[in-house]
Structure 1
């Protein structure tokens, strides 16, 4: 008598770590599961219609990468708000940050305060990202080029790419020491391990999830690393050395870089060979910083979200 082996598959289901919770996105449903202050799991469907369901042209190669990234940002914002409220983090932050100045702002600005703060934070965040990831590498290489002469001009794009990657690694490494971020990275691990468990054809239990690996080729961290690497090759064809002009052209190239990165991640998620191992290697290494080993309670949350998005007709299964 032979024992039937679990049927393995590759799934299109993906996820994201939240504050004390996890988002799982299936072909028909998006679920947000959060561990509440009383220890229970609150699971709720997130209503969102993807861009490529609204505009069919966005399903085309390259364009689908851009639309998928925008969808991820929109869903992430909604899901994070949900998890912040359900986990009780919003109340904690309000109590800790309340001051006489906050009370004055709340009195005079009222409901507009949240929007003003978010707008200012978003603008400052974008400006800081442009400065660190685009302008600083260009300015530093210009200083080196002025000192060494035109013989080093061919190294501009590799230098800028490596420096951007180092800044990214340093940033991820530093924020990982914060307790809240570390827990989010652990939920990231629970998300990956749960998807691996489902793809292995095993029942979704904590014991089965615990046995799985935590580094997945279709991870957002891998996507970011691939974008930086692809940006090196794109940057070779940008002739400008002026920091502002070069940054402007790089921003125009972001949709192309994003689209190419998405196609490579998609290919790596559907195939397993030497080429995909080579492409995925930098991103998998980087996940050592952003994907941590979860505890049992986190895996329970991931399972709760996963079970709600698995379709009965198997339309999530991808043919390699």
Structure 2
């Protein structure tokens, strides 16, 4: 079966696990300390007006990113709760004198209000992060190199370079921590499973491990495209500034446009990945993934396969019910 005839799936790494998004359900599989794999399954419910917005080029990118941030944060929180519970039990075993809280108090579960709260927090953290990542490099370039170039294009290129340096430094330092290194390994496992599925392979550990941990349709690629697209848009002749505040103000106003166009670029590079020469358009994103993914171990790939298979199983069941 060719890739074009297959459904397109995406996912994300979580703490000690992987989430996959299907047509009707999002599923996270997490490996506990006792080697048990548990699942968190959330039906995909999207308002009709959001579905309509997702059909509009450029707009669909912004809507999709915010929607994914909200839903992804729920699954990340689930994985963090279980990880914290396992860590607490392990600490209690090392220190028997400590009195751990009863399990009912340690893990409160997911009420509707909690799910909504986590989703809102996820969206707000995404927006805040994008604002900082947009404003800080512009401010730094203006303060440190305001007299270096007369051309706005030169300033924009230097701003883009500062963004990339800050991004690479942040990702590198994060990857040095054990928990983030394992998160990046699960990120690689997620990519391998999707690549194996798209190639029509049977999803076994040995088959999946043959594939690259890099994938054209990755959020990491999207991040680097926002830098490149931003430099191009900010350099257009009608986006000029006379002060640092005007410069930051313009960047923030243009942020939705930059995100929307970057999403379309990501779609285009994914569609062209099998075309000679044009496939290189997606290489900047793949290079960044060298930092945001790591080679996974077999047990991590097994969790990713379990998540993907469970998502496909539930997706099929829901499709049959709606048919």
How far apart, CA to CA, are the structure 2 residues paired with 1:120 and 1:25? 20
Are 2:137 and 2:163, in contact at CA under 8 Å, matched by a contact in 1? no
- CA offsets 1:218-251 (integer angstroms, 9 cap, x no match): 0000000001110001111320142222112211
How far apart, CA to CA, are the structure 2 residues paired with 1:53 and 1:89? 37
Match for residue 68 of structure 2? 72
CA 1:93/1:175 → structure 2, altered by over 3 Å: closer, same or farther? farther
- CA offsets 1:259-289 (integer angstroms, 9 cap, x no match): 1111121122233224642321111011000
Match for residue 300 of structure 2? 298
Are 2:192 and 2:208, in contact at CA under 8 Å, matched by a contact in 1? yes
CA 1:243/1:20 → structure 2, altered by over 3 Å: closer, same or farther? same
Match for residue 112 of structure 2? none
- State the superposition RMSD in angstroms: 3.1
Out of 28, 34, 38, the residue aligned to residue 38 of structure 1 is 34
In the TM superposition, residue 132 of structure 1 has moved relative to its aligned partner by: 5.4
In the TM superposition, residue 252 of structure 1 has moved relative to its aligned partner by: 1.4
TM-score normalised according to structure 1 size: 0.79
- CA offsets 1:59-83 (integer angstroms, 9 cap, x no match): 2111111111011110121011111
1:287 aligns with 2:289: yes
Match for residue 3 of structure 2? 9
Are 1:34 and 1:41, in contact at CA under 8 Å, matched by a contact in 2? yes
Match for residue 257 of structure 2? 256
Match for residue 111 of structure 2? none
Give the secondary structure class of the aligned counterpart of 2:20: strand
How far apart, CA to CA, are the structure 2 residues paired with 1:119 and 1:53? 19
How far apart, CA to CA, are the structure 1 residues paired with 2:63 and 2:34? 37
Give the secondary structure class of the aligned counterpart of 1:151: coil
Are 1:43 and 1:304, in contact at CA under 8 Å, matched by a contact in 2? no
Match for residue 310 of structure 2? 308
CA 1:244/1:122 → structure 2, altered by over 3 Å: closer, same or farther? farther
Deviates more, 1:237-246 or 1:70-79: 237-246
Match for residue 188 of structure 2? 189
Are 1:51 and 1:58, in contact at CA under 8 Å, matched by a contact in 2? no
Are 2:15 and 2:80, in contact at CA under 8 Å, matched by a contact in 1? yes
CA 1:121/1:273 → structure 2, altered by over 3 Å: closer, same or farther? closer
Are 1:21 and 1:32, in contact at CA under 8 Å, matched by a contact in 2? yes
Match for residue 208 of structure 1? 207
Are 1:227 and 1:257, in contact at CA under 8 Å, matched by a contact in 2? yes
The runs of 5 or more residues in structure 1 that have no matched partner are 1-6, 97-115, 316-320
Equivalent runs, 1:1-320 vs 2, <5 Å? 7-10=1-4, 11-50=7-46, 54-86=50-82, 88-90=83-85, 92=87, 130-131=131-132, 133-146=134-147, 148=148, 151-237=150-236, 238-271=239-272, 272-274=274-276, 276-310=278-312, 311-312=315-316
How far apart, CA to CA, are the structure 2 residues paired with 1:307 and 1:276? 33
In the TM superposition, residue 290 of structure 1 has moved relative to its aligned partner by: 0.6
Deviates more, 1:11-20 or 1:49-58: 49-58
Are 1:20 and 1:183, in contact at CA under 8 Å, matched by a contact in 2? yes
Are 2:138 and 2:247, in contact at CA under 8 Å, matched by a contact in 1? no
Looking at both structures, which has the greater relative contact order when contacts are Cα pairs under 8 Å and sequence separation is at least 6?
1
